[in-house]
Amino acid sequence: MIASPLAKPSLVLGFLPEDIREAAKDHPEPPMWKQMIAHCMFAVFIVAFVGGIVYLGVDGLRRGYGFWKLYGRFVLALFICKAFDILVQDQWLVMSTDFFKRIYPETADCAGWKDRGFNNRNQLIRIVLYPVLCLIMAWAFVMFGNITTEPSGVVEEATVSTTEAGSSESEQTVDRTDIYLTLVNPTHKVPDDWLDKIELVEAENSLGEKYLVEKETLAHFEDLRDELLEEGIDIEIDSAYRSVEEQQRIWDEFSVRYGDKVGEYVSEPGYSEHHTGLAIDVFLIDGDRIIRDNDDLFAAEDLFAEVHKHLADYGFILSVLPGKEEICGGLAYEPWHFRYVGLEPAKEMAEKGIVLEEYLGEEKS
Ligand SMILES: [Zn+2]
């Protein structure tokens, strides 16, 4: 708009009705320096527009958007721009003000200034093309995201969370963050020297059953449990740390029940998150009723919905989210299986609705 009086008439008039273009065709061109300014302004506009699209795409990827969510975002953005273009430029600036008439006084009597449909064909073509363009852009961003964001994403996130955690104990914090973000799933085995890295402590649930769990995980779980007790919800630890031998025993036991599908319910020995001591299975006590069977636990979805709301505040996540089973190595969603990852990562994952595999950018292994 500001550039219009500075640019060549042939450029400005391009989208206006034909009689106006005809009437203004002999309008003198502005001096070269003015035209240069107009070109620069136009270039800045294009860069800003493309930058805006790239920002939307990169930001979407960072939030874990998939193809269709990115697509929706682009469609929305382009159509908002288009609506602005039609309403403000075509209908208001051209039809309802004398802006262009003042630049090209020789067109003052043209009938085209009254023809509100003058740009319909142009705009329609764009409206039809935009969804296709958005498909291509969403596809390009998903491809780009797959190639670039994964490895660099991990480094960035880890650095950010450690600096935020406090710089005075930086070296210590770096190690701890790495430990609490260790991925163990059906495709990622627990590290061999794992037990040297963590401190397991023994604890007891209110039924007097003993279990082993990583120290910081226990501290945060107890805080979580206390807060839920205030809301009248009693969660108890069913099991936490499991040795590889124990897991072997469970695997064998479940194999009898589930046959080939055992891998959907139990992790292969060495590949269970429970080997880390950072994963816990809980059960519920409702009055004097103990809700502990898998079927009963699945049925208690209202209670779990309330419990899940508080997880991130204490550094816990759900290891598998519904619909993300495949990303999590084929494990099934279990509302009772929580994993300690640390406060900042847990909050970020909860906000984005992503699992640890996605947070670390390792969902494709
Ligand atoms: Zn579990």
- Please give the radius of gyration of the chain, using alpha carbons only, rounded to the nearest integer: 30
- The reply to whether the predicted model has a pTM over 0.75 is no
- Quick count: other Cβ atoms within 10 Å of Cβ 274? 25
C-alpha to C-alpha distance for 354 and 324, rounded to whole angstroms: 9
Catalytic site residue from 264, 325, 334, 344: 334
SS3 305: helix
| pLDDT top residue among 330 and 338 | 338
In this prediction, residues 150-169 reach a mean pLDDT of 39
Q: How far is the CA of 338 from the centre of ligand 1 (A)?
A: 7
Burial readout 188-222 (b: 16 or more C-beta within 10 A, e: otherwise)? bbbeeeeeeebebbebebeeeeebebbebbbebbe
Quick: pLDDT tens for 118-148.
Answer: 888 888 999 999 999 999 998 988 887 766 5
- Give the Å distances, CA to CA, from 36 to 12, 43, 97: 14, 10, 26
Long-range contacts of range 347-352, CB-CB < 8 Å, 24 or more positions apart? 347/312, 347/313, 348/157, 348/161, 349/312, 349/317, 350/311, 350/312, 350/317, 351/312, 352/63, 352/64
Q: How far is the CA of 290 from the centre of ligand 1 (A)?
A: 18
* Mean of per-residue pLDDT scores for the chain: 86
Quick: pLDDT tens for 54-113.
Answer: 888 888 877 667 788 889 999 999 899 899 988 988 888 888 888 888 888 888 888 888
Q: How far is the CA of 337 from the centre of ligand 1 (A)?
A: 5
Positive or negative: CA dihedral 327, 329, 334, 339: negative
CATH classification of 170-359 is 3.30.1380.10, yes or no?
Answer: yes
C-alpha to C-alpha distance for 353 and 65, rounded to whole angstroms: 10
Confidence at 363, pLDDT banded by 50, 70, 90 = low
pLDDT at 328: 92
Q: How far is the CA of 66 from the centre of ligand 1 (A)?
A: 28
- Give the Å distances, CA to CA, from 317 to 245, 247, 344: 26, 22, 11
Confidence at 175, pLDDT banded by 50, 70, 90 = low
* Residues 360/326, Cβ–Cβ less than 8 Å: no
Does pLDDT of 181 surpass 60?
Answer: yes
- Give the Å distances, CA to CA, from 38 to 2, 8, 35, 101: 8, 9, 5, 19
The strand pairing partners of 284, in sequence order, are: 235, 291
C-alpha to C-alpha distance for 202 and 234, rounded to whole angstroms: 20
pLDDT at 170: 41
* Residues 157/150, Cβ–Cβ less than 8 Å: no
- Quick count: other Cβ atoms within 10 Å of Cβ 70? 24
pLDDT at 24: 84
C-alpha to C-alpha distance for 306 and 321, rounded to whole angstroms: 15
- Quick count: other Cβ atoms within 10 Å of Cβ 257? 10
pLDDT at 219: 97
Domain with CATH 3.30.1380.10 in the chain: 170-359
CA neighbor of 316 nearest in space, from 239, 222, 207, 241: 222
C-alpha to C-alpha distance for 344 and 313, rounded to whole angstroms: 9
C-alpha to C-alpha distance for 219 and 225, rounded to whole angstroms: 10
- Give the Å distances, CA to CA, from 121 to 55, 124, 133, 211: 30, 5, 18, 72
Q: How far is the CA of 267 from the centre of ligand 1 (A)?
A: 9
pLDDT at 38: 87
Q: How far is the CA of 32 from the centre of ligand 1 (A)?
A: 73
pLDDT at 66: 77
The residue type found at 187 is T
Q: How far is the CA of 207 from the centre of ligand 1 (A)?
A: 19
Concerning whether 334 is annotated as a catalytic residue, the answer is: yes
In this prediction, residues 216-236 reach a mean pLDDT of 96
